[in-house]
Amino acid sequence: EFRRFSLERSKPGKFEEFYGLLQHVHKIPNVDVLVGYTDIHGDLLPINNDDNYHKAVSTANPLLRIFIQRKEDADYSAFGTDTMTRKKNVLSNVLRADNHKKKPHIVISMPQDFRPVSSIIDVDILPETHRRVRLYKYGTDKPLGFYIRDGSSVRVTPHGLEKVPGIFISRLVPGGLAQSTGLLAVNDEVLEVNGIEVSGKSLDQVTDMMIANSRNLIITVRPANQRNNVVRNSRTSGSSGQSTESSAPGSAANLLGGLLHGEEESDDEDIIIEGGGEPQHIPRAAPSSDSIESLSHIELLHEPAHNGFLLSGDMSSGHSAGSASTECDLPEAGRKSLEEDGTVITL
Amino acid sequence: MRRFLRPGHDPVRERLKRDLFQFNKTVEHGFPHQPSALGYSPFLHLMAIGTRSGAIKLYGAPGVEFMGLHEENNTVMQIHFIPDQCQLVTLLDDNSLHLWSLKQHGGASELREEHRFTLKGPPGSPPSATQVTAVLPHSSREVLYLGTESGNVFVVELPSFRVLEDRTITPEAVLQRIPEDNCNRRSCELVEALREHPKNPDQILIGYSRGLIVLWDLQSNKATHHFLGSQQLENLYWQRDGSKFISCHYDGSYSQWPISSDNKQSEPLENTVPYGPFPCKAISKIYWQTTKNGLPYIIFQGGMPRASYGDRHSISVIHGSQQTAFDFTSRVIDFFIIFSSDPAAEFDDPSALVVLAEEELVVIDLKSAGWPAVHPPYLASLHCSAITCSHHVSNIPLKLWERIISAGSKQNIHYSSMPWPIDGGTNIAPDPPQRDLLLTGHEDGTVRFWDASGVCLHLLYKLSTVRVFLTDADPNDNMNTLGEDEWPPLRKVGTFDPYSDDPRLGIQKIYLCKYSGYLVVAGTAGQVLVMELNDEDAEHVVDHAEADLLQDQEGYRWKGHEKLKTRDGPVRFEAGFQPFVLVQCQPPAVVTSLALHSEWKLVAFGTSHGFGLFDHQQKRLVFVKCTLHPSDQLALEGPLSRVKSLKKSLRQSFRRIRRSRVSSRKRRGGGGNASEVQEANARFDQDALQEMELAPVQRKIEARSAEDSFTGFVRTLYFADTFLRDSSRHCPSLWAGTNGGTVYAFCLRVPPAERRMDEPVRAEQAKEIQLMHRAPVVGILVLDGRSTPLPEPLEVAHDLSKSPDMQGSHQLLVVSEEQFKVFTLPKVSSKLKLKLTALEGCRVRKVTVANFGSCKTDDYSENNLAVLTNLGDIQIISLPFLKLQIRYPCIRKEDVSGIASCVFTKYGQGFYLISPSEFERFSLSTKWLVEPRCIVDMPEVTSNNHVHNKSGTENTAVKS
């Protein structure tokens, strides 16, 4: 729902008055809302006191785009810096499972409101020609929507160039998850499935592995189109640079392993129906003396479905173009609002 | 984190693993697939069978078995034992000759290939010049005579295979002594048969295919006699005293020829067309056997009237006025006669006729009146009706064993009582550790009980379920009721009968309780039969119940087959397992899972629609549960309307054809020719790759959903006495797992024994677990407080197992095709899991708990899961911590039917079909190993006997 109204730039007044005005304009007098605006860089910044209110008004050029959002639905992580600039090289963002634990003092989002759909991960540890894509099937109704086939690719070996069998993406289903992310394309060569190399495995084996991992599928591909590859050093300008630097290169594989392990504990919570009762998720048994138990239990402390967001390059830019014409974004659309946390952006 | 969890290398555990696990393929049971040649050594009393895939198998006394494989994997065309030696020569279809020896090594004999040889002609000669058609190992043991397509007979030295060129018998040399008016160069094309004179090793008989027969003297190097037949020659046979020989011909005739003292051309003494006067088929092999009473046995293959009986596979035996044409169920590959091998004996006195047909081995006792068949102790035709399922029961109590044997012996009264005539070698393998039964279900509605304790898989008893049902075919109409005056006097022999009257009779699941003798058998049309062992014949009515598995589901139409019609009134059953209850599922879909609890007297059965529980004591259906998902149309409509999967199945069947072609050539991995097989596989892979580039095969990647087809298909059923509701009281329970990853648990109330007939058994659904990965559930198991799998019903009552620990908390193990998961009980919370498919891309096909004993100490054993994956790997996974112990490649992943047929035993052995007619036996245990171990000793050879012991050389086929 959009409203357009005018303010006098020289006399902006107090934040409280502005807040009241907004409630009045939207006819939501008793609803607590969060107010934000887009600055000249396109970043979404909060308005919650006189200072930033004045700053906002002063930057209006001449239009000030203001987003309001019902407080209980609000995503605090939406407010950050550098959003738009980072968005351009969002491909360099690295999802880290430990991101929230590391920076708990920065309230950057209310992730439970959002559902990740896909992400690019481990950019720092992969060769630039490879891309590791994570598809979150859990909770979405969209089909994964792709097909794989056998094929052959050329490898450099000690005996020169050699043709070796490989697995390739053969088709994307229109409207499917794989297509909508824009991260996978026909003729991309599949190199790994959830950290396991596919070389030497048959098409049926790889199919089974992918389906078995379908709720949290991480596939490493060599894109057929190598022009959109990440330029490695540009990442350091991103805010997530710090978090990646904290992980020593040697532990990279381990991180993926940990990631997988942590995820897998919750990716398929079985359901139990006790004698005619309501279906419930099966809880984990209390950690026993068994070493696997205690270790994996720690991984469980955070729900992976809630710890990060995704973005696919073209989708997010499409949406931001759409939101550019809006001045206010109403609570109902909260889920669709352009938000971000420290590492990734959500649609 | 996973990295830190890897079991690492705990040296103690690693050592223990070596004491527990070991993989061996030990022996092949059953009848060789596609046999192509037969040989026999009267000296060793050993029989050899060659196959189209290049395997050669030797059989002697029960338990004496050897196996060899030609690297070329080419068809074995001929097998010839070297007289008085532990050696044999094989001729392959690539014209190569191979010399094999039985040598003692480490206390047991082994079959090894010693030399190979291919006859080479002079440069520029056509390949036919050296194409071997007939082989004669000479009694001197020094040379082989090789007849060829060109008419030359080459002489090669043994064992070096050096060609002795100066001794070659050329057609020119043969024709020198024969008047030209009735012979020319063409008469000597293609050597059909070579036979050594039974008394004089310097004379050999050479038969050429156009009818010319020459007696060649090796000393003077010239033809001493010649015989000119008017018909194309098929084969030759000497009479024992060497005064006459007999020839058989393409037109179905045979002739006797005397060897006159003068050198003039002889006329046949007798020329007969036994099944004339109308045109007859060729007689391809003939024996003339003398007896004390003067009447010879004339035994020949073929010769049937072409028009009316040309399609029969027959061997005729004529003895005086007795004549029988044994009519075999499949093509006759070859045959031999067992007769007196004592060289001093005056007469042949044949005792048995041994016939290798394409699908079975038949032995006829020629000594007993009526010439009955002999029951072979090995080489059983497992596939006499196609095998549809198998079930293994270890450690059968002696009482049950004896009752089964006694029931079986009543079925075998028509067999000869003659001891098995092929009795060479000595079995030195230790006695089998226990009595094991392998039950095979067949397409024709029979269940066969095999003694699987040792090396010889021996049929004990055959059970037929057909009698319960009304079928189109009257079971009596194919009995042998030929009148006295029938001509030719055909008599059906053999048991191979792959044609099923009604596919609905097929057996799909079998469960035998070895303690109570209860047997449950379930079939293709939803029939479940509960049987009891009865030592007497009996006539009774089979109680009949119907289980409507669709229940309240409406609007579905079953488009599959109809249910079987039952016989009204009492039915007569022979001694053995006799059915007393029949439950028929409605719709009559294939029974896909079965469980029996003999203590509670309950039977659970499942199909693609749901499952039911039947109380066979009160003969009452306790409950049924429909597992269908409303959208699952395919399951409802039955197997005949799977239009959707037609495309896929077409593709698969093409693949199967290709696969079977490959598999017939390269049937066995392992062994000495691994590199060869690898190479062939590589070639195959390359071909496959090229093929794929032409038409890429795509696979859809999609998460499974509840709407997928056949989710309601019940894959596994399990009875357990465990804590289902609360941790203080345990109760009987029934567990069911479906194709869609759902586990249902029912709490059962079974009345105490004294009121068992008065109160009904009650059931109530207690839990339903939906695995989110939705993979088919293939196994359910409850572990007791000591993490030991619950014992089988009645196992504790018979003091054969410790009582389960009901103090500690129980755990539930659910095995899906993709994961192993342990849950706590009674409150279901997940405790442990092992993901298989997500990490390795393989799926669980078969899983069993197996007990592994240590080969070092008698008092240590542990329970583990033995798992077969769709890639043909066998993995051993520990209980209860689900850690992979070891992995062995076992079956080629392309061998889908082999993987599907695999059955594990409770002590770490297993069986799978390597062809429709053969089980490969393997062992995962260091302790239980059933493999042939035998010695073949050279019998004493008296100094004079190699001159007279002629009979030994010519019992093998000379025709291809």
- The tens digit of pLDDT for each residue in B583-597 reads 999 889 999 999 999
Task: Report the CATH number that the domain containing residue B775 is assigned in CATH.
Answer: 2.130.10.10
Residue finishing a domain among B799, B816, B841: B841
Residue B881's closest chain A neighbor by CA?
Answer: A290
Residue B505 has pLDDT above 60, yes or no: yes
Of the two residues A106 and B190, the one the predictor is more confident about is: B190
Look at residue B800 and tell me if it is in a domain.
yes
Supply the pLDDT for residue B957: 40
Strands A131-136 and A118-121: antiparallel
Q: Token pair 């020329």 is at which residue?
A: B271
Among partner residues A147, A295, A296, which is closest to B699 by beta-carbon distance?
A: A147
Q: In the predicted model, what is the mean pLDDT of residues B415-419?
A: 92
Kind of pairing between the strands at B576-586 and B527-534: antiparallel
Query: Average pLDDT, stretch B159-175?
Result: 89
B820 lies in some domain = yes
| Contact B182/A at CB under 8 A | no
Q: How high does pLDDT run on average in chain B?
A: 86
ipTM: 0.77
Same domain as B607, residue B738? yes
Pair (B723, B814) in one structural domain: yes
User: Is B797 an 8 Å CB contact of chain A?
Assistant: no
Query: CB-CB: which of A209, A276, A284 is closest to B838?
Result: A209
Q: Are residues B769 and B895 in the same domain?
A: no
Question: Which domain-ending residue is among B841, B861, B884?
Answer: B841
Mean pLDDT of A96-115: 46
**A152–B828 CB contact, under 8 Å:** no
Burial of B344 (0-12, 13-18, 19+ CB in 10 A): exposed
B297-302 and B313-319 beta bridge pairing: antiparallel
One-letter amino acid identity for B927? Answer: K
Go through the domains of chain A in sequence order and give each one's CATH number.
1-84+106-114 (3.10.20.90), 118-228 (2.30.42.10)
Are residue B863 and residue B806 in the same domain, yes or no? no
Backbone angles phi, psi at B249, to 5 degrees: -135, 165
pLDDT digits over B835-882, tens only? Answer: 999 888 899 999 999 999 998 888 899 999 999 999 999 999 999 899
Beta strands in chain A, from DSSP E residues, in sequence order: 33-38, 44-46, 66-70, 118-121, 131-136, 146-157, 160-172, 189-193, 196-197, 216-222, 271-274, 279-281, 339-340, 345-346
**Pair B767, B796 in one domain:** yes
Average pLDDT, whole number, for chain A?
65
Looking at the domain assignment, is residue B747 inside a domain?
yes
Check CB contact of B696 with chain A, cutoff 8 Å: yes
What DSSP letter does each residue of B779-844 carry, written as one string?
A: EEEEE-TTSPBPPPTTTTTTTSSPPP--SSPPEEEEEESSEEEEEESSS--EEEEEESHHHHS--E
The count of structural domains within chain B is 2
C-alpha distances (whole Å) from A4 to each of A25, A64, B953 are: 9, 10, 111
Residue B728 neighbours by CB under 8 Å, 6+ apart:
none
Percentage helix, strand, coil, to 5, in chain A? 35, 20, 45
- Same domain? For B786 and B909 the reply is no
Amino acid at B646: L
pLDDT confidence of residue B485? 60
* B257: nearest Cα among B297, B293, B228: B228
Asked which of B841, B860, B891 is the last residue of a domain, the reply is: B841
Positive or negative torsion for Cα B248, B254, B258, B264: negative
Confidence of residue B74 (pLDDT cuts 50, 70, 90): very high
Q: Give the best residue of A206, A269, A270, A296 to mutate against chain B (max B CB count within 10 A).
A: A270
- Judge: B840–A148 Cβ closer than 8 Å, yes or no: no
My answer on whether omega of the bond before B159 falls inside 30° of 0, hence cis, is yes
| Higher pLDDT, residue B921 or A275 | B921
- Domain-embedded: residue B688: no
Same domain, B850 and B871: yes
In a domain, B719, yes or no: yes
CA A27/CA A35 separation, integer angstroms:
15
- What pLDDT is recorded for position B351? 93
Residues B905 and B771 in one domain: no
pLDDT at residue A305, as a whole number: 35
Q: Do A254 and B1 touch (CB under 8 A)?
A: yes
Tell me the nearest-neighbour CA distance from B890 into chain A, angstroms.
17
**B88 or A292, which is more confident:** B88
State the first-to-last Cα distance of chain A, in angstroms, to the nearest integer: 18
Lowest mean pLDDT among A210-214, B474-478, B500-504, B618-622: B474-478
Task: Kindly state whether residue B622 falls inside one of the protein's structural domains.
Answer: yes
Q: Do B55 and B69 contact (CB within 8 A), yes or no? A: yes
Among the partner-chain residues A264, A268, A282, the one whose CB lies closest to the CB of B828 is: A282
The three-state secondary structure class of B478 is: coil
Q: Does B704 touch chain A (CB under 8 A)?
A: yes
Side-chain half-sphere CA neighbours of B373 within 13 A: 19
pLDDT over 70 percentage in chain B:
86
| pLDDT over threshold 80, residue A20 | yes
Domain membership of residue B41 (yes or no) is no
Residue range(s) defining the domain that contains residue B870: 9-31+843-936
Sign, CA dihedral B815-B816-B819-B825, equals negative
Within this chain, do residues B852 and B822 fall inside the same structural domain, yes or no? Answer: no
Does the structure show a pLDDT above 70 at A105? no
B824 and B876 in a single domain? The answer is no
pLDDT for the residue B149: 92
Q: Is the pLDDT of residue A26 over 50?
A: yes
How far away is chain B from the Cα of A157, in angstroms, using its nearest Cα?
A: 19
Q: Which residues of A touch B841 (CB under 8 A)?
A: 193, 196, 201-202, 204-206, 208-209
Residue B910 lies in a domain: yes
CA angle at residue A263 from A259 to A267, to 5 degrees? Answer: 160
For residue B693, the number of C-alpha atoms closer than 13 Å in the C-beta half-sphere is 12
Strand boundaries in B589-667, DSSP class E: 593-597, 602-606, 610-615, 620-626
User: What are the structure tokens assigned to B591, written together?
Assistant: 């029974």
Q: Do A275 and B767 touch (CB under 8 A)?
A: yes
Residues of chain A positioned with their CB less than 8 A from the CB of B893: 202
Statement to judge: residues B878 and B759 lie in one domain? no
Q: Amino acid identity of B486?
A: E
Interface contact A270-B765, CB threshold 8 A: no
Asked if B939 contacts B86 with a C-beta cutoff of 8 angstroms, the reply is no
Structure tokens at A213: 């991992």
What tokens appear for B885 in the block?
């112990």
CA A189 to CA A170: how far, in whole Å? 9
Statement to judge: residues B754 and B880 lie in one domain: no
For the segment B365-408, what is each residue's pLDDT rounded down to a tens digit? 999 999 999 999 999 999 999 999 999 999 999 999 999 999 99
Residue B801 above 90 pLDDT? Answer: no
Interface size, chain A vs chain B, as Cβ–Cβ contacts under 8 Å? 162
